[in-house]
Protein backbone atom coordinates (compact mmCIF):
# COMPACT_ATOMS: atom_id res chain seq x y z
CA UNK A 1 0.00 0.00 0.00
CA UNK A 2 1.78 3.16 -1.19
CA UNK A 3 1.41 6.03 1.24
CA UNK A 4 1.19 9.60 -0.05
CA UNK A 5 1.30 12.49 2.42
CA UNK A 6 -0.78 15.25 0.83
CA UNK A 7 0.15 18.03 3.27
CA UNK A 8 3.63 19.01 4.41
CA UNK A 9 6.12 21.87 4.25
CA UNK A 10 9.87 22.28 4.01
CA UNK A 11 11.15 22.84 7.56
CA UNK A 12 12.98 26.16 7.38
CA UNK A 13 12.49 29.65 8.80
CA UNK A 14 12.86 30.79 5.17
CA UNK A 15 9.46 29.21 4.43
CA UNK A 16 7.77 29.04 7.84
CA UNK A 17 8.76 32.33 9.50
CA UNK A 18 9.84 32.44 13.15
CA UNK A 19 6.84 34.70 13.86
CA UNK A 20 4.61 31.74 13.02
CA UNK A 21 5.97 29.47 15.75
CA UNK A 22 6.50 32.34 18.19
CA UNK A 23 2.77 33.03 18.00
CA UNK A 24 2.10 29.39 18.75
CA UNK A 25 4.37 29.55 21.78
CA UNK A 26 2.58 32.67 23.03
CA UNK A 27 -0.67 30.75 22.84
CA UNK A 28 0.71 27.65 24.56
CA UNK A 29 1.98 29.85 27.40
CA UNK A 30 -1.33 31.69 27.69
CA UNK A 31 -3.43 28.53 27.75
CA UNK A 32 -1.08 26.76 30.16
CA UNK A 33 -1.08 29.79 32.48
CA UNK A 34 2.74 29.86 32.52
CA UNK A 35 4.24 33.14 33.76
CA UNK A 36 7.82 31.91 33.50
CA UNK A 37 9.79 33.74 30.77
CA UNK A 38 12.41 30.98 30.70
CA UNK A 39 9.69 28.50 29.77
CA UNK A 40 8.77 30.64 26.74
CA UNK A 41 12.40 31.07 25.66
CA UNK A 42 13.01 27.33 25.91
CA UNK A 43 9.87 26.54 23.90
CA UNK A 44 10.85 29.05 21.20
CA UNK A 45 14.19 27.27 20.87
CA UNK A 46 12.47 23.89 20.55
CA UNK A 47 10.28 25.18 17.71
CA UNK A 48 13.30 26.76 15.98
CA UNK A 49 14.94 23.34 16.07
CA UNK A 50 12.05 21.39 14.51
CA UNK A 51 11.96 24.03 11.73
CA UNK A 52 15.51 23.26 10.54
CA UNK A 53 15.70 20.75 7.71
CA UNK A 54 15.91 23.01 4.64
CA UNK A 55 16.99 20.31 2.18
CA UNK A 56 14.51 17.71 3.49
CA UNK A 57 17.21 15.13 4.23
CA UNK A 58 15.91 14.39 7.74
CA UNK A 59 12.38 14.47 6.34
CA UNK A 60 13.16 11.82 3.71
CA UNK A 61 14.78 9.63 6.39
CA UNK A 62 11.55 9.84 8.41
CA UNK A 63 9.45 9.14 5.31
CA UNK A 64 11.53 6.02 4.68
CA UNK A 65 11.07 4.86 8.25
CA UNK A 66 7.32 5.51 8.06
CA UNK A 67 6.83 3.94 4.62
CA UNK A 68 5.70 7.23 3.05
CA UNK A 69 6.53 6.98 -0.65
CA UNK A 70 5.78 10.59 -1.60
CA UNK A 71 4.84 13.82 0.09
CA UNK A 72 3.32 17.06 -1.12
CA UNK A 73 5.37 20.13 -0.18
CA UNK A 74 3.09 23.13 0.13
CA UNK A 75 4.57 26.58 -0.41
CA UNK A 76 2.81 29.31 1.58
CA UNK A 77 3.02 32.91 0.43
CA UNK A 78 3.59 34.62 3.79
CA UNK A 79 5.67 37.30 2.06
CA UNK A 80 2.72 39.46 1.00
CA UNK A 81 1.17 39.80 4.44
CA UNK A 82 4.52 40.29 6.19
CA UNK A 83 5.51 42.93 3.59
CA UNK A 84 8.60 41.21 2.21
CA UNK A 85 9.88 41.51 -1.39
CA UNK A 86 8.12 39.66 -4.21
CA UNK A 87 11.46 38.36 -5.48
CA UNK A 88 11.72 36.29 -2.29
CA UNK A 89 8.83 34.18 -3.58
CA UNK A 90 10.61 33.49 -6.86
CA UNK A 91 13.65 32.37 -4.87
CA UNK A 92 11.45 30.14 -2.68
CA UNK A 93 10.01 28.49 -5.80
CA UNK A 94 13.49 27.93 -7.20
CA UNK A 95 14.68 26.30 -3.98
CA UNK A 96 11.66 24.00 -3.89
CA UNK A 97 12.50 22.91 -7.42
CA UNK A 98 16.01 22.05 -6.17
CA UNK A 99 14.47 19.88 -3.44
CA UNK A 100 12.39 18.02 -6.06
CA UNK A 101 15.63 17.34 -7.92
CA UNK A 102 17.60 16.43 -4.80
CA UNK A 103 15.10 13.69 -3.87
CA UNK A 104 13.80 12.38 -7.21
CA UNK A 105 10.33 10.86 -7.09
CA UNK A 106 9.78 11.65 -3.41
CA UNK A 107 8.13 15.05 -3.49
CA UNK A 108 5.28 16.83 -5.24
CA UNK A 109 5.15 20.61 -4.89
CA UNK A 110 2.15 22.95 -4.75
CA UNK A 111 2.73 26.63 -5.57
CA UNK A 112 1.62 29.15 -2.94
CA UNK A 113 0.39 32.60 -3.94
CA UNK A 114 -1.45 35.43 -2.21
CA UNK A 115 -4.19 36.51 -4.69
CA UNK A 116 -3.70 40.17 -3.81
CA UNK A 117 -0.59 40.00 -6.00
CA UNK A 118 -2.88 40.17 -9.03
CA UNK A 119 -1.37 39.47 -12.45
CA UNK A 120 2.15 39.01 -11.01
CA UNK A 121 0.76 36.27 -8.78
CA UNK A 122 -0.88 34.46 -11.67
CA UNK A 123 2.42 34.60 -13.56
CA UNK A 124 4.19 33.22 -10.49
CA UNK A 125 1.76 30.30 -10.39
CA UNK A 126 2.31 29.67 -14.11
CA UNK A 127 6.08 29.83 -13.60
CA UNK A 128 5.79 27.21 -10.87
CA UNK A 129 3.71 24.89 -13.03
CA UNK A 130 5.47 25.36 -16.35
CA UNK A 131 9.11 25.84 -15.33
CA UNK A 132 9.40 24.07 -11.99
CA UNK A 133 6.95 21.18 -12.38
CA UNK A 134 4.64 22.18 -9.50
CA UNK A 135 1.38 20.26 -9.36
CA UNK A 136 -1.19 22.29 -7.46
CA UNK A 137 -2.04 25.53 -5.66
CA UNK A 138 -1.79 26.13 -1.92
CA UNK A 139 -3.82 28.95 -0.36
CA UNK A 140 -3.46 30.41 3.11
CA UNK A 141 -6.62 32.51 3.66
CA UNK A 142 -5.66 33.57 7.24
CA UNK A 143 -3.18 35.90 5.50
CA UNK A 144 -6.30 38.00 4.83
CA UNK A 145 -8.43 36.86 1.90
CA UNK A 146 -11.39 34.62 1.23
CA UNK A 147 -10.78 31.55 -0.94
CA UNK A 148 -13.95 32.57 -2.80
CA UNK A 149 -12.58 36.08 -3.50
CA UNK A 150 -13.05 36.81 -7.20
CA UNK A 151 -9.42 37.90 -7.39
CA UNK A 152 -8.67 34.16 -7.23
CA UNK A 153 -10.67 33.38 -10.37
CA UNK A 154 -7.68 33.70 -12.74
CA UNK A 155 -5.72 31.34 -10.45
CA UNK A 156 -8.53 28.79 -10.45
CA UNK A 157 -8.76 29.08 -14.24
CA UNK A 158 -5.08 28.12 -14.44
CA UNK A 159 -5.74 25.16 -12.11
CA UNK A 160 -8.71 24.09 -14.25
CA UNK A 161 -6.61 24.36 -17.41
CA UNK A 162 -3.85 22.14 -16.00
CA UNK A 163 -6.24 19.93 -13.95
CA UNK A 164 -4.47 20.76 -10.70
CA UNK A 165 -5.99 20.61 -7.20
CA UNK A 166 -6.19 23.51 -4.75
CA UNK A 167 -5.41 22.90 -1.08
CA UNK A 168 -6.55 25.63 1.31
CA UNK A 169 -5.71 25.97 4.96
CA UNK A 170 -8.80 25.78 7.18
CA UNK A 171 -9.00 26.49 10.89
CA UNK A 172 -7.25 28.61 13.51
CA UNK A 173 -3.55 29.26 13.07
CA UNK A 174 -0.80 31.41 14.52
CA UNK A 175 -2.35 34.36 16.43
CA UNK A 176 -0.65 37.02 14.29
CA UNK A 177 -2.96 36.06 11.37
CA UNK A 178 -6.72 36.43 10.90
CA UNK A 179 -9.10 33.53 11.63
CA UNK A 180 -11.94 35.26 9.76
CA UNK A 181 -11.34 33.52 6.47
CA UNK A 182 -10.38 30.15 7.92
CA UNK A 183 -13.83 28.55 7.89
CA UNK A 184 -14.83 25.72 5.52
CA UNK A 185 -17.78 27.66 4.07
CA UNK A 186 -15.29 30.17 2.66
CA UNK A 187 -14.53 27.56 -0.03
CA UNK A 188 -18.16 26.93 -0.92
CA UNK A 189 -18.65 29.65 -3.53
CA UNK A 190 -15.34 28.87 -5.27
CA UNK A 191 -16.15 25.16 -5.32
CA UNK A 192 -19.55 25.91 -6.84
CA UNK A 193 -18.19 28.22 -9.52
CA UNK A 194 -15.27 25.94 -10.44
CA UNK A 195 -16.74 22.43 -10.36
CA UNK A 196 -13.88 21.11 -12.49
CA UNK A 197 -11.30 22.13 -9.84
CA UNK A 198 -10.74 19.79 -6.88
CA UNK A 199 -10.58 21.65 -3.56
CA UNK A 200 -8.93 20.07 -0.51
CA UNK A 201 -9.87 21.51 2.89
CA UNK A 202 -6.69 21.54 4.98
CA UNK A 203 -6.82 19.75 8.32
CA UNK A 204 -10.29 18.44 7.37
CA UNK A 205 -11.66 21.72 8.69
CA UNK A 206 -9.75 21.46 11.98
CA UNK A 207 -12.03 22.84 14.72
CA UNK A 208 -14.76 23.25 12.05
CA UNK A 209 -14.65 19.58 11.03
CA UNK A 210 -18.45 19.20 11.03
CA UNK A 211 -18.93 22.03 8.52
CA UNK A 212 -16.05 20.67 6.43
CA UNK A 213 -17.69 17.23 6.39
CA UNK A 214 -20.92 18.78 5.06
CA UNK A 215 -19.05 20.29 2.10
CA UNK A 216 -17.23 17.00 1.45
CA UNK A 217 -20.56 15.17 1.51
CA UNK A 218 -22.47 17.52 -0.77
CA UNK A 219 -19.87 19.01 -3.12
CA UNK A 220 -18.35 16.42 -5.48
CA UNK A 221 -15.15 18.48 -5.86
CA UNK A 222 -14.43 19.03 -2.14
CA UNK A 223 -12.02 16.76 -0.23
CA UNK A 224 -10.54 16.71 3.28
CA UNK A 225 -6.95 16.23 4.42
CA UNK A 226 -6.38 14.61 7.82
CA UNK A 227 -3.18 16.43 8.75
CA UNK A 228 -2.96 18.25 12.04
CA UNK A 229 -4.99 15.91 14.24
CA UNK A 230 -1.92 14.55 15.99
CA UNK A 231 -2.72 16.55 19.14
CA UNK A 232 -6.36 15.40 19.07
CA UNK A 233 -5.13 11.83 18.69
CA UNK A 234 -2.82 12.20 21.67
CA UNK A 235 -5.91 13.23 23.67
CA UNK A 236 -7.83 10.15 22.52
CA UNK A 237 -10.20 11.92 20.14
CA UNK A 238 -9.09 10.51 16.79
CA UNK A 239 -11.13 7.29 16.60
CA UNK A 240 -14.39 9.17 17.15
CA UNK A 241 -13.47 11.66 14.45
CA UNK A 242 -12.83 8.91 11.90
CA UNK A 243 -16.06 7.14 12.91
CA UNK A 244 -17.85 10.46 12.35
CA UNK A 245 -16.48 10.69 8.79
CA UNK A 246 -17.34 7.04 8.16
CA UNK A 247 -20.92 7.54 9.37
CA UNK A 248 -21.21 10.49 7.00
CA UNK A 249 -20.12 8.26 4.15
CA UNK A 250 -17.21 10.47 3.12
CA UNK A 251 -14.17 8.24 3.65
CA UNK A 252 -13.57 8.34 -0.12
CA UNK A 253 -13.14 12.12 0.16
CA UNK A 254 -10.39 11.88 2.79
CA UNK A 255 -6.63 12.14 2.22
CA UNK A 256 -3.71 11.27 4.49
CA UNK A 257 -1.52 14.19 5.58
CA UNK A 258 0.95 15.00 8.34
CA UNK A 259 1.68 18.77 8.18
CA UNK A 260 5.39 18.11 8.70
CA UNK A 261 7.25 19.81 10.42
CA UNK A 262 4.54 21.45 12.56
CA UNK A 263 3.76 18.45 14.77
CA UNK A 264 7.22 16.91 15.04
CA UNK A 265 7.13 17.33 18.81
CA UNK A 266 4.26 14.84 18.97
CA UNK A 267 6.24 12.06 17.31
CA UNK A 268 7.98 10.91 14.14
CA UNK A 269 6.15 10.50 10.85
CA UNK A 270 5.93 6.75 11.47
CA UNK A 271 3.80 7.30 14.54
CA UNK A 272 1.09 9.08 12.49
CA UNK A 273 1.14 6.45 9.73
CA UNK A 274 0.87 3.71 12.35
CA UNK A 275 -2.04 5.53 13.97
CA UNK A 276 -3.99 5.19 10.70
CA UNK A 277 -3.05 1.52 10.38
CA UNK A 278 -4.35 1.06 13.91
CA UNK A 279 -7.78 2.16 12.66
CA UNK A 280 -7.79 -1.02 10.55
CA UNK A 281 -6.61 -3.20 13.39
CA UNK A 282 -9.39 -1.77 15.56
CA UNK A 283 -12.04 -2.42 12.90
CA UNK A 284 -12.82 1.25 12.29
CA UNK A 285 -11.51 1.21 8.70
CA UNK A 286 -11.34 -1.59 6.15
CA UNK A 287 -8.10 -2.20 4.23
CA UNK A 288 -9.79 -0.77 1.14
CA UNK A 289 -10.79 2.40 2.96
CA UNK A 290 -7.29 2.81 4.35
CA UNK A 291 -5.73 2.32 0.90
CA UNK A 292 -7.95 5.08 -0.47
CA UNK A 293 -7.00 7.46 2.35
CA UNK A 294 -3.32 6.57 2.10
CA UNK A 295 -3.01 7.41 -1.58
CA UNK A 296 -5.61 6.15 -4.04
CA UNK A 297 -7.87 9.17 -3.62
CA UNK A 298 -4.98 11.58 -3.97
CA UNK A 299 -3.95 9.85 -7.19
CA UNK A 300 -7.45 10.30 -8.55
CA UNK A 301 -7.57 14.05 -7.86
CA UNK A 302 -3.99 14.79 -8.84
CA UNK A 303 -3.11 12.47 -11.72
CA UNK A 304 -0.55 14.86 -13.16
CA UNK A 305 1.56 14.93 -10.00
CA UNK A 306 2.18 11.20 -10.04
CA UNK A 307 4.95 10.63 -12.48
CA UNK A 308 6.24 14.19 -12.07
CA UNK A 309 9.73 14.73 -10.70
Site for Zn ion, rule CB under 5 A: 259
CB of 140 to Zn ion, least distance (A): 9
**Ramachandran angles phi, psi of 138, nearest 5°:** -110, 130
For the chain, the maximum distance between any two Cα atoms, rounded to a whole number of angstroms, is: 53
Count of CB atoms situated within 10 Å of the CB of 217: 13
Query: Contacts for 213-216 with beta carbons within 8 Å, 24 or more apart?
Result: 213/244, 213/245, 213/248, 213/250, 214/184, 215/184, 215/185, 215/187, 215/188, 215/191, 216/248, 216/250, 216/253, 216/254
CB of 13 to Zn ion, least distance (A): 15
CB of 34 to Zn ion, least distance (A): 26
CB of 25 to Zn ion, least distance (A): 17
CB of 9 to Zn ion, least distance (A): 6
Q: Compare residues 261 and 295 and give the one whose CB is closer to Zn ion.
A: 261
Q: Compare residues 273 and 285 and give the one whose CB is closer to Zn ion.
A: 273
Cα torsion angle, 228, 230, 232, 238, sign: positive
CB of 296 to Zn ion, least distance (A): 22
* Nearest residue to Zn ion, by Cβ distance, number only: 259
Q: Compare residues 227 and 297 and give the one whose CB is closer to Zn ion.
A: 227
Q: Which residues contact 29 (CB under 8 A, 6 or more apart)?
A: 39, 40, 43
Q: Compare residues 50 and 160 and give the one whose CB is closer to Zn ion.
A: 50
Q: Compare residues 114 and 259 and give the one whose CB is closer to Zn ion.
A: 259
Q: Where are the beta strands (DSSP E) in 115-255?
A: 137-139, 166-168, 199-201, 222-225, 254-255
CA–CA separation, 192 vs 187, rounded Å?
Answer: 9
Q: Compare residues 5 and 259 and give the one whose CB is closer to Zn ion.
A: 259
**Pairing relationship of beta strands 199-201 and 222-225 according to DSSP bridges:** parallel
Beta bridge partner(s), residue 70: 4
Amino acid sequence: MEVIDCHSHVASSRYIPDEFFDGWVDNILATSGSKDDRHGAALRQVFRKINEDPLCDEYVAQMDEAGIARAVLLIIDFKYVYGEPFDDMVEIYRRHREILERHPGRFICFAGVDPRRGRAGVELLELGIEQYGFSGLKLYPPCGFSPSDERLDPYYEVCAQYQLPVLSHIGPTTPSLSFNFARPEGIDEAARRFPQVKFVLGHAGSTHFRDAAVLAEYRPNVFLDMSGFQAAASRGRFDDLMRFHKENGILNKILFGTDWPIHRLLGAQKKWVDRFKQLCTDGILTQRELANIFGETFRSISPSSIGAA
